[in-house]
């Protein structure tokens, strides 16, 4: 059954944003929410946000992309307006990949493109390896598509994640949501994400907080902060990368994630080389981790040209095959 698209919303900020309809999809534990732009018969593009963000991260970029494409940007479970996972459950990358599979099944998309930012790029990478026939092109925004972990750290992370989850569950009855004024909530969001502009913070807060008596509380699930217990080492990441059939472009911000978050020695070069071997396009661009939200005009034409060139190459190949028949 197709999800309902309801609650047409119109936004007006200093940067003009297109109207988006609300995406709502029932899942066994509640709802996956998001936003939709463009005609129902337009080219399908799935947009996946980064850790602790929400689908609002694409609200300034999508209006600069082709109007006749169909964009669906979701809030991952535990983020934005989507339901939290059931009590006792952990947040892991395989489950996020399963969430994407549920969404495209409901949308009845057989083949589509993905734009993924940060964590959303890593989910896109894994999904594209598991379902290569479904993904025709991928844009990775300040993401390598995979985040290799040293073997020695993998099981430390697993132990810590399990212990953290159990500790959280045991203290659940004692937990109280902290109530903020809007300004204090915004201050906290910007402290955790120094790359956000003032306007970008306001955009994310549209889905990141909900109003309660006395102020606002953050809507995201605290458990997304717990250590991810499912990691992949470099060998596993490179194997997944080799399974991807889609055309891929990496847009790496010069002052982005990998300036502050360092991978083990040599990992950056190895994974970039592997993408080059896969004929991926890698561009280093001026900007910070949230460049697509803060300054979308700096990446919009690059993304459009890449995805349009993909569509043209597919059309040319189809015409060449037809001419041989």
158 domain residue, yes or no: no
Measure the CA–CA gap between 107 and 181, rounded to whole angstroms.
Answer: 38
214 domain residue, yes or no: no
Residue 118 bears catalytic tag: yes
Q: Among 1-5, 195-199, 307-311, which stretch is predicted with the lowest mean pLDDT?
A: 1-5
Number of Cβ within 10 Å of residue 106's Cβ equals: 16
Contact 23, 3 (CB under 8 A): yes
Q: What is the mean pLDDT of residues 42-57?
A: 98
Which region holds residue 100: left if phi is over 0, alpha if psi is between -120 and 50, else beta?
Answer: alpha
208 domain residue, yes or no: no
User: What are the DSSP calls for 157-196, one per residue?
Assistant: HHHHHHHHHHHHHHTGGG--PPPB-HHHHHHHHHHH-TT-
Question: Which pLDDT score, from 0 to 100, does residue 313 have?
Answer: 57
Is the per-residue pLDDT at 311 higher than 70? no
Number of Cβ within 10 Å of residue 122's Cβ equals: 25
Question: Which pLDDT score, from 0 to 100, does residue 172 have?
Answer: 83
Question: Which pLDDT score, from 0 to 100, does residue 259 have?
Answer: 86
Is the per-residue pLDDT at 16 higher than 60? no
162 domain residue, yes or no: no
47 domain residue, yes or no: yes
The pTM of this model reads 0.91
User: What are the DSSP calls for 266-283, one per residue?
Assistant: THHHHHHHHHHHTT-EEE
Of the candidates 59, 82, 118, 143, the residue annotated as catalytic is 118
According to DSSP, the β-strands at 20-27 and 4-9 are antiparallel
- HSE toward the beta carbon, residue 321, CA cutoff 13 A: 6
Is the per-residue pLDDT at 273 higher than 50? yes
Question: Which pLDDT score, from 0 to 100, does residue 173 have?
Answer: 81
Q: What is the mean pLDDT of residues 34-48?
A: 97
Q: What is the mean pLDDT of residues 105-117?
A: 98
Domain that holds residue 28: 4-150+232-324
223 domain residue, yes or no: no
Reported as a pLDDT band with limits 50, 70 and 90, residue 317 is low
Question: Which pLDDT score, from 0 to 100, does residue 14 have?
Answer: 37
Is the per-residue pLDDT at 325 higher than 80? no
> What is the count of structural domains for the chain?
1
Measure the CA–CA gap between 56 and 74, rounded to whole angstroms.
Answer: 9
* CA of residue 84 relative to chain centroid, distance: 17
Residue 77: name the closest of 224, 209, 177, 262 by CA.
Answer: 224
Task: Quick: pLDDT tens for 199-208.
Answer: 999 999 999 9
Sign of CA dihedral 267, 268, 269, 275: positive
Q: What is the mean pLDDT of residues 297-312?
A: 91
Residue 50: name the closest of 116, 147, 1 by CA.
Answer: 116
**Average pLDDT score, the chain:** 91
According to DSSP, the β-strands at 215-218 and 281-288 are unpaired
Question: Which pLDDT score, from 0 to 100, does residue 314 have?
Answer: 55
Which CATH number goes with the domain that contains 313?
A: 3.40.50.1820
DSSP label of 295: S
199 domain residue, yes or no: no
Question: Which pLDDT score, from 0 to 100, does residue 9 have?
Answer: 33
Reported as a pLDDT band with limits 50, 70 and 90, residue 318 is very low
List of residues 6+ apart from 65 with CB closer than 8 A: 45, 71, 300, 303, 304
* CA of residue 162 relative to chain centroid, distance: 24
Question: What would the two tokens of residue 318 be?
Answer: 């189809």
Measure the CA–CA gap between 227 and 230, rounded to whole angstroms.
Answer: 9
Is the per-residue pLDDT at 272 higher than 50? yes
Q: What is the mean pLDDT of residues 65-84?
A: 98
Measure the CA–CA gap between 178 and 214, rounded to whole angstroms.
Answer: 10
Question: Which pLDDT score, from 0 to 100, does residue 4 have?
Answer: 33
Measure the CA–CA gap between 116 and 160, rounded to whole angstroms.
Answer: 27
Q: What is the mean pLDDT of residues 228-250?
A: 97
pLDDT over 70, % of the chain: 90
Q: What is the mean pLDDT of residues 179-193?
A: 97
139 domain residue, yes or no: yes
List phi, psi (to 5°) of 120.
Answer: -60, -30
């Amino acid at each position: 059954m197709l999800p309902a698209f309801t609650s047409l919303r119109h936004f007006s900020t200093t940067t003009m944003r297109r109207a988006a309809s609300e995406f709502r999809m029932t899942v066994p534990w509640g709802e996956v929410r998001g936003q939709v732009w463009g005609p129902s018969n337009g080219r399908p593009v799935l947009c996946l946000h980064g850790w602790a963000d929400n689908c609002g991260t694409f609200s300034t970029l999508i209006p600069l992309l082709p109007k006749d494409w169909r964009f669906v940007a979701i809030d991952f479970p535990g983020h934005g307006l989507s339901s939290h996972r059931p009590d006792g459950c952990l947040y892991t990358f395989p489950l996020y990949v399963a969430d994407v599979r549920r969404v495209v099944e409901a949308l009845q998309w057989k083949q589509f493109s993905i734009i993924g930012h940060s964590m959303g790029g890593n989910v896109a990478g894994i999904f594209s390896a598991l379902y290569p026939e479904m993904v025709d092109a991928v844009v990775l925004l300040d993401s390598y598509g995979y985040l290799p972990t040293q073997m020695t750290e993998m099981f430390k992370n697993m132990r810590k994640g399990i212990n953290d989850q159990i500790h959280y569950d045991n203290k659940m009855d004692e937990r109280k949501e902290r109530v903020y004024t809007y300004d204090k909530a915004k201050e906290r969001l910007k402290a955790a994400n120094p790359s956000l502009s003032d306007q970008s913070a306001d955009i994310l807060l549209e889905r990141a907080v909900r109003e309660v008596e006395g102020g606002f509380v953050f809507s995201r699930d605290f458990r997304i902060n717990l250590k991810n217990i499912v990691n992949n080492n470099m060998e596993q990441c490179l194997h997944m990368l080799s399974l991807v059939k889609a055309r891929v472009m990496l847009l790496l911000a010069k002052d982005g994630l990998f300036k502050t978050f360092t991978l083990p020695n040599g990992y950056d070069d190895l994974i970039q080389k592997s993408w080059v071997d896969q004929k991926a396009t890698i561009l280093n661009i001026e900007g910070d981790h949230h460049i697509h939200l803060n300054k979308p005009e700096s990446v919009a034409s690059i993304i459009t040209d890449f995805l349009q060139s993909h569509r043209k190459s597919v059309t040319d190949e189809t015409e060449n095959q037809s001419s041989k028949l």
